[in-house]
Structure 1
Amino acid sequence: MPELPEVETTRQGIAPHCEGQTIRQVIVRNPNLRWPVPETLAHTLEGEQIRTVERRAKYLFLHLDSGSVIIHLGMSGSLRVITDDSAAMTHDHVELALATGRRIRFNDPRRFGCWLWTTDWQHHPLIANLGPEPLSDSFNGAWLYRQSRNRKTPVKAFIMDNHIVVGAGNIYANEALFKAGIHPRRSAGRISLDRYHRLAEAIRETLSAAILMGGTTLRDFVNSDGKPGYFAQSLLVYGKAGTPCTDCGTTLKEIRMNNRSTVYCPACQR
């Protein structure tokens, strides 16, 4: 599933081709996504200019003067900039034809993504209750500490809660907890302020590095230019159970938490 770095990489990939451009045509080949594509979407968008392309959590927004398109990549979705006359593929469900001749195609084999329309994106039900962006000034150790008080939930589940902070998906939560030296099963309410400062910085560093490298290479994700990300080459613990810890040499262990793979170092993380 594309996570925050993959979505941000996509935003950076399509923004230069979209911003300031007029939508000439909207083609909806299959409206049956996670939620039905609005029947009026083509009528609403055609002739409008895309002002900016923004990301909030794992949602992308095409901001127009009259409102915003909300796009979610779901489990297998991708957006690609098409610069030639190549035919649409089987799972190219939605397409924007721009006045420049370029096309933005949304491909989603599993159809768990979405294309929605809103005139008030910040108060949309999908957005209104999300936690802070991990790379913003509003996210820090003090925030995590305050939100964690009296919580018995494991810290890994705590930081993966989008109401606490957005974007700390499974892979990145594994990596950040390792960097911060915190055991994934430790209760969120039993972690000190100082350790939360380290964890917040680890989350920030991990996501920043992933964005810089183009996201994590996952089976279903490709960037807007068709190239995979390369952050997977830099993973320290995720997918490396049974190998030596890069810090101390202890064998990394794998457990299941909420049906997700969780890899940690039993010596370094406590």
Structure 2
Amino acid sequence: MPELPEVETVANGLNKRAAGTTIESVWIGEKKQPLKSSARAIAKMLEGAKITLVRRVGKHIVADLAEPDGEPRGQWIIHLGMTGSTLVVDPDTPLPKHTHLIAKLSSGKELRFVDPRMFGKLAVRAKSDVFAAPGLEPLTVSLEDFQKLFRGRNTPIKSALLNQALLSGVGNIYADEALFRAGIRPRRRAKSLSRADLTRLHEKVGEVLREAVELGGSSVNDYVDAEGNEGFFQLRHNVYQRTGEPCFTCKKPIKRVVIAGRSSHYCQNCQK
């Protein structure tokens, strides 16, 4: 599932290519699975709206919409799910089989939502119902607030990092990579981490996420950005999906363990 860096990359690409344009018309497919709001509500909100800004909120893409006179209209919320992609393309670009929405833009381009497995979701919100992430923002959270999130928690630190009510946006890939760089095993209880451990982890979470955004995210499955390009951060993965391969630092084999139903990858020598 796309995580913070992938969603940030897509949102930035959409903002660059779609912000300032008006949605002239909307086509919505027959499948109801991708629709969190009704097709009628989505079409009513989008048609005739000007896209003023596209940004990431947690793991969601949020497009702020305005009336023709500039007054706020509402928001378009996109969750990519497992295999979703949101592309801005020329109208004559071949249409993928699993296209669920096409928004025709005043620029002459089309904004398309494509999702083969249909775990992604499309929703709209009125201007009075602003979308907000449930947890703190990983790229800007202060060290003090970061440390407070994990004090006294008896859950494994990996599970705590994935808890979107604590930090919104961190997922399996970047939790594994941040824990490796911080030298902390994923099974360690959050409450057992010292102030020094949490200081190091705070630094590495931000470091990993920023590097991944710069490289366009990790293309390990179906992920592509708003222009259909793959990311490159997977080339810097130290542990994620490298089970049995030698650690780049100590040459010991990377281990895999399941924590709360999620695979975790770590080096038993470099992480304590």
CA distance in 1 between counterparts of 2:153 and 2:189 reads 7
User: Is 1:91 paired with 2:98?
Assistant: yes
CA distance in 1 between counterparts of 2:129 and 2:163 reads 19
Q: Check the 8 A contact 1:3/1:58 in 2, yes or no.
A: yes
**Closer, same or farther in 2 for the Cα pair 1:172/1:122, shift >3 Å?**
farther
Q: Check the 8 A contact 1:141/1:198 in 2, yes or no.
A: no
Q: Check the 8 A contact 2:45/2:74 in 1, yes or no.
A: no
User: Is 1:131 paired with 2:135?
Assistant: yes
1:75-114 aligned at under 5 Å gives the runs 75-114=82-121
Cα deviation code 1:118-157 (max 9, x no counterpart): 1257754xx35x1111111xx1332232122221100000
CA distance in 1 between counterparts of 2:56 and 2:128 reads 11
Give the aligned residue type for 2:93: S
RMSD over aligned Cα atoms: 1.7
Task: Give the deviation of 1:36 after TM superposition.
Answer: 4.1
Task: Give the deviation of 1:246 after TM superposition.
Answer: 2.2
Task: Give the deviation of 1:215 after TM superposition.
Answer: 0.6
CA distance in 2 between counterparts of 1:121 and 1:172 reads 34
User: Is 1:10 paired with 2:10?
Assistant: yes
Cα deviation code 1:207-257 (max 9, x no counterpart): 111111111012221111111111111101112222222222333221111
**1:234 counterpart (230, 233, 236):** 236
Structure 1 segments unaligned to the other structure (5+ residues) = none
Structure 2 segments unaligned to the other structure (5+ residues) = 66-71
CA distance in 1 between counterparts of 2:189 and 2:177 reads 18
1:1-270 aligned at under 5 Å gives the runs 1-38=1-38, 39-64=40-65, 65-120=72-127, 123-124=130-131, 127=132, 130-136=134-140, 139-270=141-272
**Closer, same or farther in 2 for the Cα pair 1:141/1:122, shift >3 Å?**
farther
CA distance in 1 between counterparts of 2:93 and 2:268 reads 51
Give the aligned residue type for 1:55: R
Structure 1 length normalisation: TM-score?
A: 0.92
**Closer, same or farther in 2 for the Cα pair 1:120/1:151, shift >3 Å?**
farther
Q: Check the 8 A contact 2:161/2:167 in 1, yes or no.
A: yes
Which 10-residue stretch deviates more, 157-166 or 22-31?
A: 22-31
CA distance in 1 between counterparts of 2:20 and 2:27 reads 20
Which 10-residue stretch deviates more, 97-106 or 27-36?
A: 27-36
CA distance in 2 between counterparts of 1:183 and 1:96 reads 45
Task: Give the deviation of 1:88 after TM superposition.
Answer: 2.6
Overall identity of the aligned pairs, in % = 37
Cα deviation code 1:18-55 (max 9, x no counterpart): 11111100111135124444213222321221111111
CA distance in 1 between counterparts of 2:137 and 2:55 reads 13
2:148 is paired with a residue whose SS is: helix
Give the aligned residue type for 2:47: E
**Closer, same or farther in 2 for the Cα pair 1:161/1:32, shift >3 Å?**
same
Q: Check the 8 A contact 2:41/2:124 in 1, yes or no.
A: no
Give the aligned residue type for 1:46: E
* 2:68 paired residue number: none
Give the aligned residue type for 2:258: R
Q: Check the 8 A contact 1:81/1:105 in 2, yes or no.
A: yes
**Closer, same or farther in 2 for the Cα pair 1:122/1:154, shift >3 Å?**
farther
Task: Give the deviation of 1:159 after TM superposition.
Answer: 0.8
CA distance in 2 between counterparts of 1:34 and 1:28 reads 10
CA distance in 2 between counterparts of 1:48 and 1:150 reads 47
